[in-house]
Amino acid sequence: MNEPIFTEKAPAAVGPYSQAMKAGNMLFVSGQIPFVPSTMKLVSQDIKEQTRQSLENVKAILEEAGASLNDVVKVGVFIKDMNEFAAINEVYSEYFNKNKPARACVEVARLPLDVKIEIEVTAYLTKNYLD
């Protein structure tokens, strides 16, 4: 049975979807944009700050589901400008320094609310996390 995951420590969905969905021992976290959860405003125009906020939002959702960044097996990174790839990787590597999940990073024409980055993850939940 699928179980939606919600936390106030990450931005509310800006459309008809869940922050994440647990299906068996898999957790699928919807794309997270760099909005500060308490204000629902963009953190800044700086790509490093946007990357950090997006990852903090992902982390909060994982924690709500009883998981961590170490449980992530796949990451999808959607960026507005591939020229910012190195700056994004600099911040990304702070979060995924031991666990290095599979990843795709693609440049897109436009992201929701005109942000510069959106990050989605898939995590594998160990038996300890299952209800």
Active site residues: 105
Q: Is 91 helix (H, G, I), strand (E, B) or coil?
A: helix
**How would you label 32-60 residue by residue, b for 16+ Cβ within 10 Å and e otherwise?**
bbbbebeeeebbeeebeebbbbbbbbbbb
Q: In a 10 Å sphere around its CB, with 0-12 CB exposed, 13-18 middle and 19+ buried, how is residue 85 labelled?
A: middle
